Structure 1
Protein backbone atom coordinates (compact mmCIF):
# COMPACT_ATOMS: atom_id res chain seq x y z
CA UNK A 1 0.00 0.00 0.00
CA UNK A 2 1.31 3.38 -0.87
CA UNK A 3 1.28 6.13 1.69
CA UNK A 4 1.15 9.74 0.66
CA UNK A 5 3.23 11.96 2.88
CA UNK A 6 1.36 14.87 4.34
CA UNK A 7 2.72 18.19 3.26
CA UNK A 8 2.30 21.14 5.58
CA UNK A 9 2.36 24.56 4.02
CA UNK A 10 3.84 27.18 6.26
CA UNK A 11 3.09 30.77 5.42
CA UNK A 12 6.02 32.96 6.25
CA UNK A 13 5.27 36.47 7.49
CA UNK A 14 5.70 39.12 4.86
CA UNK A 15 8.90 41.07 5.13
CA UNK A 16 8.05 44.52 6.36
CA UNK A 17 9.84 47.24 4.55
CA UNK A 18 10.91 50.15 6.73
CA UNK A 19 9.02 53.31 6.00
CA UNK A 20 10.55 56.73 6.33
CA UNK A 21 8.55 59.21 8.30
CA UNK A 22 8.87 62.73 6.92
CA UNK A 23 7.47 65.52 9.02
CA UNK A 24 5.82 68.26 7.06
CA UNK A 25 7.37 71.65 7.68
CA UNK A 26 5.15 74.45 8.89
CA UNK A 27 5.15 77.82 7.16
CA UNK A 28 3.32 81.06 7.72
CA UNK A 29 -0.09 81.14 5.99
CA UNK A 30 0.64 84.64 4.70
CA UNK A 31 4.18 83.81 3.54
CA UNK A 32 4.97 80.20 2.54
CA UNK A 33 8.67 81.07 2.26
CA UNK A 34 9.01 81.57 6.02
CA UNK A 35 9.26 78.42 8.13
CA UNK A 36 7.94 78.08 11.66
CA UNK A 37 9.81 75.94 14.19
CA UNK A 38 9.57 75.43 17.91
CA UNK A 39 12.31 77.59 19.40
CA UNK A 40 15.13 75.25 20.48
CA UNK A 41 15.91 77.42 23.50
CA UNK A 42 12.45 78.61 24.51
CA UNK A 43 9.39 76.38 24.17
CA UNK A 44 7.06 79.34 24.68
CA UNK A 45 8.10 80.90 21.37
CA UNK A 46 8.25 79.96 17.71
CA UNK A 47 11.32 80.57 15.58
CA UNK A 48 10.74 82.12 12.15
CA UNK A 49 13.32 81.48 9.47
CA UNK A 50 13.84 81.38 5.70
CA UNK A 51 15.73 78.09 5.98
CA UNK A 52 14.01 74.67 6.22
CA UNK A 53 16.91 73.13 8.14
CA UNK A 54 15.96 71.20 11.28
CA UNK A 55 16.98 71.90 13.96
CA UNK A 56 16.93 75.56 12.94
CA UNK A 57 19.85 77.92 13.39
CA UNK A 58 18.79 80.61 15.85
CA UNK A 59 21.50 83.01 14.69
CA UNK A 60 20.22 82.97 11.09
CA UNK A 61 16.51 83.27 11.89
CA UNK A 62 14.39 86.37 11.37
CA UNK A 63 13.42 86.26 15.02
CA UNK A 64 11.03 84.64 17.48
CA UNK A 65 7.37 85.15 18.27
CA UNK A 66 5.00 84.16 21.05
CA UNK A 67 2.16 83.96 18.51
CA UNK A 68 1.71 82.75 14.95
CA UNK A 69 1.17 84.70 12.82
CA UNK A 70 3.52 87.19 14.47
CA UNK A 71 2.52 90.71 15.42
CA UNK A 72 4.67 93.72 16.31
CA UNK A 73 3.94 93.01 19.99
CA UNK A 74 4.67 89.28 19.88
CA UNK A 75 7.75 89.34 17.63
CA UNK A 76 11.35 89.80 18.76
CA UNK A 77 13.81 90.45 15.95
CA UNK A 78 17.10 88.58 15.72
CA UNK A 79 19.64 91.40 15.74
CA UNK A 80 22.08 89.30 13.72
CA UNK A 81 19.64 89.00 10.82
CA UNK A 82 19.39 92.66 9.83
CA UNK A 83 23.10 93.05 8.87
CA UNK A 84 22.81 89.92 6.69
CA UNK A 85 19.70 91.30 4.99
CA UNK A 86 21.34 94.66 4.38
CA UNK A 87 24.52 93.12 2.96
CA UNK A 88 22.46 91.15 0.43
CA UNK A 89 20.44 94.22 -0.55
CA UNK A 90 23.57 96.36 -0.89
CA UNK A 91 25.05 93.79 -3.29
CA UNK A 92 22.04 92.67 -5.30
CA UNK A 93 19.30 95.32 -5.20
CA UNK A 94 20.67 97.09 -8.29
CA UNK A 95 20.17 93.88 -10.30
CA UNK A 96 16.58 93.28 -9.19
CA UNK A 97 14.31 93.65 -12.26
CA UNK A 98 11.69 95.56 -10.26
CA UNK A 99 14.28 98.02 -8.95
CA UNK A 100 15.58 98.56 -12.48
CA UNK A 101 12.05 99.28 -13.64
CA UNK A 102 11.62 101.74 -10.82
CA UNK A 103 14.87 103.49 -11.74
CA UNK A 104 13.74 103.86 -15.36
CA UNK A 105 10.46 105.44 -14.24
CA UNK A 106 12.38 107.71 -11.89
CA UNK A 107 14.49 109.14 -14.72
CA UNK A 108 11.60 109.52 -17.14
CA UNK A 109 10.23 112.98 -18.07
CA UNK A 110 7.38 112.40 -15.67
CA UNK A 111 9.69 111.47 -12.84
CA UNK A 112 9.25 114.79 -11.10
CA UNK A 113 5.72 113.71 -10.17
CA UNK A 114 7.06 110.83 -8.11
CA UNK A 115 7.89 110.97 -4.44
CA UNK A 116 4.68 112.00 -2.67
CA UNK A 117 4.16 110.57 0.83
CA UNK A 118 2.22 107.33 0.90
CA UNK A 119 -1.37 107.31 2.10
CA UNK A 120 -2.28 104.95 4.91
CA UNK A 121 -4.83 102.57 3.44
CA UNK A 122 -5.81 100.55 6.49
CA UNK A 123 -4.41 97.22 7.56
CA UNK A 124 -4.68 95.41 4.25
CA UNK A 125 -1.49 94.12 2.68
CA UNK A 126 -0.68 92.88 -0.77
CA UNK A 127 2.00 92.28 -3.37
CA UNK A 128 3.67 95.31 -4.83
CA UNK A 129 6.49 96.81 -6.78
CA UNK A 130 8.73 99.31 -5.08
CA UNK A 131 7.79 102.89 -5.82
CA UNK A 132 10.14 105.76 -6.53
CA UNK A 133 11.43 107.94 -3.75
CA UNK A 134 12.17 111.45 -5.01
CA UNK A 135 11.31 112.22 -8.62
CA UNK A 136 14.33 112.48 -10.92
CA UNK A 137 13.12 113.86 -14.26
CA UNK A 138 16.53 113.20 -15.90
CA UNK A 139 18.44 114.69 -12.96
CA UNK A 140 19.27 111.58 -10.98
CA UNK A 141 18.93 111.02 -7.26
CA UNK A 142 17.86 108.19 -4.96
CA UNK A 143 15.06 105.65 -5.09
CA UNK A 144 13.70 103.63 -2.18
CA UNK A 145 13.64 99.83 -2.14
CA UNK A 146 10.73 98.78 0.04
CA UNK A 147 9.00 95.70 1.37
CA UNK A 148 6.24 94.13 -0.75
CA UNK A 149 3.86 93.56 2.17
CA UNK A 150 2.44 97.09 2.03
CA UNK A 151 2.87 98.60 -1.43
CA UNK A 152 2.57 102.37 -1.68
CA UNK A 153 0.35 103.88 -4.33
CA UNK A 154 2.14 104.61 -7.59
CA UNK A 155 4.33 107.69 -7.27
CA UNK A 156 4.24 107.69 -3.48
CA UNK A 157 6.86 106.79 -0.89
CA UNK A 158 6.46 103.74 1.33
CA UNK A 159 6.17 104.13 5.09
CA UNK A 160 9.58 104.30 6.83
CA UNK A 161 8.97 100.94 8.55
CA UNK A 162 8.64 99.35 5.08
CA UNK A 163 11.73 100.90 3.45
CA UNK A 164 14.83 98.68 3.35
CA UNK A 165 17.06 101.42 2.04
CA UNK A 166 17.84 103.60 -0.95
CA UNK A 167 19.98 103.20 -4.03
CA UNK A 168 21.42 105.96 -6.21
CA UNK A 169 20.32 106.38 -9.83
CA UNK A 170 21.67 108.72 -12.49
CA UNK A 171 19.68 110.95 -14.84
CA UNK A 172 19.52 108.20 -17.46
CA UNK A 173 17.87 105.74 -15.13
CA UNK A 174 21.01 103.67 -14.54
CA UNK A 175 21.59 102.39 -11.02
CA UNK A 176 24.94 103.64 -9.77
CA UNK A 177 25.11 101.14 -6.93
CA UNK A 178 25.54 103.23 -3.79
CA UNK A 179 23.33 101.79 -1.07
CA UNK A 180 22.04 103.47 2.09
CA UNK A 181 20.35 101.55 4.89
CA UNK A 182 17.15 103.35 5.86
CA UNK A 183 17.63 102.56 9.53
CA UNK A 184 13.84 102.46 9.93
CA UNK A 185 12.88 99.07 8.50
CA UNK A 186 10.97 96.62 10.71
CA UNK A 187 10.68 92.91 9.91
CA UNK A 188 7.17 92.69 11.33
CA UNK A 189 4.54 95.42 11.21
CA UNK A 190 0.76 95.32 11.45
CA UNK A 191 0.79 94.89 7.65
CA UNK A 192 2.71 91.61 7.84
CA UNK A 193 6.18 90.11 7.84
CA UNK A 194 9.23 90.44 5.58
CA UNK A 195 8.27 90.31 1.91
CA UNK A 196 10.98 90.32 -0.75
CA UNK A 197 10.82 90.06 -4.52
CA UNK A 198 11.59 86.54 -5.81
CA UNK A 199 15.00 87.74 -7.03
CA UNK A 200 16.09 89.24 -3.72
CA UNK A 201 14.61 86.41 -1.68
CA UNK A 202 16.62 83.89 -3.69
CA UNK A 203 19.81 85.88 -3.07
CA UNK A 204 19.09 86.15 0.65
CA UNK A 205 18.33 82.43 1.05
CA UNK A 206 21.50 81.56 -0.82
CA UNK A 207 23.54 83.75 1.52
CA UNK A 208 21.89 82.25 4.61
CA UNK A 209 22.70 78.74 3.34
CA UNK A 210 26.33 79.77 2.86
CA UNK A 211 26.51 81.02 6.42
CA UNK A 212 24.76 77.89 7.66
CA UNK A 213 27.42 75.66 6.13
CA UNK A 214 30.25 77.85 7.36
CA UNK A 215 30.83 79.76 4.13
CA UNK A 216 32.15 83.31 4.19
Structure 2
Protein backbone atom coordinates (compact mmCIF):
# COMPACT_ATOMS: atom_id res chain seq x y z
CA UNK A 1 0.00 0.00 0.00
CA UNK A 2 1.02 3.61 -0.14
CA UNK A 3 0.34 6.62 1.99
CA UNK A 4 -0.60 10.06 0.71
CA UNK A 5 0.78 13.35 1.86
CA UNK A 6 -2.26 15.54 1.73
CA UNK A 7 -2.69 18.97 0.22
CA UNK A 8 -6.47 18.73 -0.05
CA UNK A 9 -9.57 17.23 1.47
CA UNK A 10 -10.19 13.59 2.40
CA UNK A 11 -11.75 11.57 -0.42
CA UNK A 12 -11.73 8.05 0.99
CA UNK A 13 -10.05 6.22 3.83
CA UNK A 14 -9.46 2.93 5.62
CA UNK A 15 -7.16 1.58 8.28
CA UNK A 16 -4.50 0.50 5.77
CA UNK A 17 -4.44 3.39 3.33
CA UNK A 18 -6.09 6.65 2.44
CA UNK A 19 -6.70 8.33 -0.86
CA UNK A 20 -6.37 12.09 -0.72
CA UNK A 21 -5.86 14.78 -3.29
CA UNK A 22 -2.15 15.40 -2.92
CA UNK A 23 1.31 13.97 -3.44
CA UNK A 24 1.47 10.21 -2.94
CA UNK A 25 4.38 8.59 -1.10
CA UNK A 26 5.25 5.01 -0.27
CA UNK A 27 4.01 3.82 3.09
CA UNK A 28 6.94 3.90 5.50
CA UNK A 29 9.05 5.81 2.95
CA UNK A 30 7.77 9.38 2.96
CA UNK A 31 10.74 10.53 0.86
CA UNK A 32 9.78 8.30 -2.09
CA UNK A 33 7.04 9.75 -4.27
CA UNK A 34 4.56 7.70 -6.31
CA UNK A 35 3.16 8.80 -9.67
CA UNK A 36 0.98 6.94 -12.16
CA UNK A 37 2.89 5.74 -15.22
CA UNK A 38 1.01 7.19 -18.16
CA UNK A 39 2.72 4.74 -20.50
CA UNK A 40 1.59 1.59 -18.70
CA UNK A 41 -1.78 1.12 -17.06
CA UNK A 42 -1.53 0.01 -13.45
CA UNK A 43 2.17 0.85 -13.14
CA UNK A 44 3.74 3.55 -10.99
CA UNK A 45 6.85 5.69 -11.22
CA UNK A 46 8.86 5.93 -7.99
CA UNK A 47 10.96 9.06 -7.54
CA UNK A 48 12.88 11.04 -4.92
CA UNK A 49 11.54 14.21 -6.54
CA UNK A 50 8.00 15.43 -5.78
CA UNK A 51 7.64 17.35 -9.04
CA UNK A 52 4.85 16.34 -11.41
CA UNK A 53 4.83 15.08 -14.07
CA UNK A 54 7.56 12.74 -12.91
CA UNK A 55 10.79 12.62 -14.89
CA UNK A 56 11.09 8.90 -15.57
CA UNK A 57 14.73 9.34 -16.65
CA UNK A 58 15.61 10.39 -13.08
CA UNK A 59 13.21 8.07 -11.26
CA UNK A 60 14.18 5.18 -9.01
CA UNK A 61 12.23 2.89 -11.29
CA UNK A 62 8.80 1.72 -12.36
CA UNK A 63 6.73 -0.81 -10.42
CA UNK A 64 3.61 -2.78 -11.25
CA UNK A 65 2.81 -3.26 -7.53
CA UNK A 66 2.59 -1.15 -4.41
CA UNK A 67 4.55 -1.64 -2.29
CA UNK A 68 7.20 -2.61 -4.84
CA UNK A 69 8.69 -6.08 -4.76
CA UNK A 70 11.79 -7.68 -6.22
CA UNK A 71 9.63 -8.96 -9.08
CA UNK A 72 7.56 -5.83 -9.70
CA UNK A 73 10.23 -3.11 -9.77
CA UNK A 74 12.07 -2.31 -12.96
CA UNK A 75 15.16 -0.43 -11.77
CA UNK A 76 16.33 2.66 -13.62
CA UNK A 77 20.07 2.13 -14.42
CA UNK A 78 20.52 5.88 -14.92
CA UNK A 79 19.29 6.57 -11.38
CA UNK A 80 21.80 4.09 -9.96
CA UNK A 81 24.56 5.74 -11.99
CA UNK A 82 23.65 9.12 -10.51
CA UNK A 83 23.50 7.63 -7.02
CA UNK A 84 26.99 6.18 -7.38
CA UNK A 85 28.28 9.46 -8.78
CA UNK A 86 26.95 11.30 -5.73
CA UNK A 87 28.33 8.70 -3.30
CA UNK A 88 31.73 8.82 -4.96
CA UNK A 89 31.80 12.57 -4.38
CA UNK A 90 30.19 12.87 -0.94
CA UNK A 91 30.18 9.53 0.92
CA UNK A 92 33.33 10.45 2.87
CA UNK A 93 31.58 13.59 4.14
CA UNK A 94 28.66 11.65 5.62
CA UNK A 95 28.80 12.04 9.43
CA UNK A 96 27.78 8.39 9.79
CA UNK A 97 30.66 7.21 7.60
CA UNK A 98 33.08 9.44 9.49
CA UNK A 99 31.92 7.96 12.79
CA UNK A 100 32.32 4.47 11.40
CA UNK A 101 35.88 5.23 10.30
CA UNK A 102 36.81 6.39 13.79
CA UNK A 103 35.24 3.35 15.42
CA UNK A 104 37.04 1.01 13.04
CA UNK A 105 40.49 2.03 14.29
CA UNK A 106 39.51 2.53 17.92
CA UNK A 107 41.29 0.36 20.46
CA UNK A 108 38.02 0.34 22.42
CA UNK A 109 36.35 -1.88 19.81
CA UNK A 110 33.37 -1.09 17.64
CA UNK A 111 29.61 -0.91 17.79
CA UNK A 112 28.84 -1.37 14.12
CA UNK A 113 25.28 -1.38 12.91
CA UNK A 114 23.27 -0.25 9.88
CA UNK A 115 25.73 -1.72 7.39
CA UNK A 116 28.77 -0.70 9.40
CA UNK A 117 27.51 2.79 10.21
CA UNK A 118 27.72 3.76 13.86
CA UNK A 119 24.23 4.10 15.31
CA UNK A 120 22.33 3.25 18.47
CA UNK A 121 22.15 -0.33 19.74
CA UNK A 122 20.29 -2.58 17.35
CA UNK A 123 18.23 -5.40 18.80
CA UNK A 124 16.49 -6.39 15.60
CA UNK A 125 16.68 -10.07 14.77
CA UNK A 126 16.66 -11.10 11.17
CA UNK A 127 14.44 -14.12 10.55
CA UNK A 128 15.89 -14.69 7.12
CA UNK A 129 19.37 -15.05 8.60
CA UNK A 130 18.06 -17.54 11.13
CA UNK A 131 16.31 -19.53 8.44
CA UNK A 132 19.01 -19.40 5.79
CA UNK A 133 22.18 -19.00 7.80
CA UNK A 134 24.14 -15.78 8.11
CA UNK A 135 26.31 -15.30 5.04
CA UNK A 136 27.33 -11.77 5.98
CA UNK A 137 30.93 -11.37 7.02
CA UNK A 138 32.29 -10.55 10.43
CA UNK A 139 33.65 -7.13 11.24
CA UNK A 140 37.19 -8.24 10.44
CA UNK A 141 36.13 -8.53 6.82
CA UNK A 142 35.70 -4.77 6.66
CA UNK A 143 38.35 -3.72 9.13
CA UNK A 144 35.70 -3.34 11.81
CA UNK A 145 35.84 -4.53 15.40
CA UNK A 146 39.29 -5.77 16.29
CA UNK A 147 41.02 -3.88 13.47
CA UNK A 148 42.42 -1.11 15.67
CA UNK A 149 45.44 0.62 14.20
CA UNK A 150 45.35 -1.26 10.89
CA UNK A 151 42.90 0.64 8.75
CA UNK A 152 40.93 -1.02 5.98
CA UNK A 153 37.56 -0.57 4.27
CA UNK A 154 34.19 0.52 5.63
CA UNK A 155 30.94 -0.06 3.81
CA UNK A 156 28.22 2.42 2.89
CA UNK A 157 25.04 0.40 3.17
CA UNK A 158 21.28 0.60 2.89
CA UNK A 159 19.48 1.22 6.19
CA UNK A 160 16.57 -1.13 5.47
CA UNK A 161 18.20 -4.07 7.28
CA UNK A 162 20.84 -3.20 9.89
CA UNK A 163 23.12 -6.20 10.46
CA UNK A 164 23.73 -7.78 13.83
CA UNK A 165 26.56 -6.64 16.06
CA UNK A 166 30.01 -7.16 14.57
CA UNK A 167 28.63 -8.09 11.16
CA UNK A 168 28.55 -6.31 7.83
CA UNK A 169 25.56 -5.87 5.58
CA UNK A 170 24.55 -8.38 2.92
CA UNK A 171 26.05 -7.67 -0.55
CA UNK A 172 22.64 -6.64 -1.92
CA UNK A 173 22.52 -3.88 0.73
CA UNK A 174 26.01 -2.45 0.17
CA UNK A 175 26.32 0.60 -2.09
CA UNK A 176 30.10 0.75 -1.94
CA UNK A 177 33.16 1.06 0.28
CA UNK A 178 35.60 3.68 1.53
CA UNK A 179 39.25 3.12 2.42
CA UNK A 180 40.43 4.25 5.86
CA UNK A 181 44.02 4.56 7.10
CA UNK A 182 45.37 3.44 10.46
CA UNK A 183 44.43 6.77 12.08
CA UNK A 184 40.80 6.71 10.98
CA UNK A 185 41.24 9.17 8.10
CA UNK A 186 39.92 8.53 4.63
CA UNK A 187 42.72 7.56 2.28
CA UNK A 188 43.37 10.22 -0.33
CA UNK A 189 41.01 12.57 1.48
CA UNK A 190 37.94 11.07 -0.17
CA UNK A 191 38.36 7.41 0.77
CA UNK A 192 38.78 6.17 -2.81
CA UNK A 193 35.12 5.19 -2.96
CA UNK A 194 34.49 1.91 -4.76
CA UNK A 195 31.05 0.83 -5.94
CA UNK A 196 30.08 -2.65 -4.78
CA UNK A 197 28.33 -3.68 -7.97
CA UNK A 198 26.00 -5.84 -5.88
CA UNK A 199 23.43 -3.35 -4.61
CA UNK A 200 19.73 -3.98 -5.28
CA UNK A 201 17.16 -1.20 -5.01
CA UNK A 202 14.47 -3.51 -3.62
CA UNK A 203 14.92 -6.65 -1.51
CA UNK A 204 12.57 -8.63 0.68
CA UNK A 205 13.43 -6.15 3.44
CA UNK A 206 12.26 -3.05 1.58
CA UNK A 207 13.26 -0.33 -0.82
CA UNK A 208 16.12 2.17 -1.00
CA UNK A 209 17.07 3.55 2.42
CA UNK A 210 19.69 6.31 2.61
CA UNK A 211 21.29 8.29 5.41
CA UNK A 212 19.82 11.81 5.74
CA UNK A 213 23.08 13.36 4.51
CA UNK A 214 23.45 11.25 1.37
CA UNK A 215 19.76 11.43 0.54
CA UNK A 216 19.94 15.23 0.65
CA UNK A 217 22.97 15.23 -1.64
CA UNK A 218 21.28 12.83 -4.06
CA UNK A 219 18.06 14.84 -4.17
CA UNK A 220 20.08 18.01 -4.76
CA UNK A 221 21.81 16.40 -7.74
CA UNK A 222 18.54 15.06 -9.15
CA UNK A 223 17.00 18.53 -8.93
CA UNK A 224 19.96 19.98 -10.83
CA UNK A 225 19.58 17.42 -13.58
CA UNK A 226 15.80 17.90 -13.70
CA UNK A 227 16.27 21.60 -14.36
CA UNK A 228 18.66 21.08 -17.27
Match of 2:143 among 134, 140, 144: 134
> Which runs of structure 2 are paired with 1:10-159 in the superposition (5 Å)?
23-111=21-109, 121-122=126-127, 133-135=142-144, 136-159=147-170
8 Å contact from structure 1 (residues 63, 78) kept in 2 = yes
TM-score, length of structure 2 as denominator length: 0.76
Q: Distance in 2 between matches of 1:140 and 1:210?
A: 36
8 Å contact from structure 1 (residues 123, 190) kept in 2 = no
TM-score, length of structure 1 as denominator length: 0.80
Structure 2: unaligned runs, 5 residues or longer: 1-6, 10-20, 117-123, 130-137
**Runs of 4+ residues over 2 Å off in structure 1:** 20-23, 110-115, 117-120, 131-136
Q: Distance in 2 between matches of 1:111 and 1:179?
A: 24
Q: Distance in 2 between matches of 1:66 and 1:155?
A: 37
Match of 1:187 among 184, 190, 201: 201
Q: CA RMSD in A?
A: 2.8
Distance 1:113 1:207, change over 3 A: closer
8 Å contact from structure 1 (residues 149, 193) kept in 2 = yes
Distance 1:53 1:112, change over 3 A: closer
8 Å contact from structure 1 (residues 112, 137) kept in 2 = no
Alpha-carbon distance, 1:30 to partner: 1.6
Count of residues in correspondence between the two structures: 188
Counterpart residue number, 2:212: 198
Q: List per-residue Cα deviations over 1:101-129 (Å, max 9, x = no partner).
A: 100010112559979x99981269xxxxx
Q: Distance in 2 between matches of 1:81 and 1:90?
A: 14
Counterpart residue number, 1:172: 183
Counterpart residue number, 2:173: 162
Q: Distance in 2 between matches of 1:71 and 1:59?
A: 20
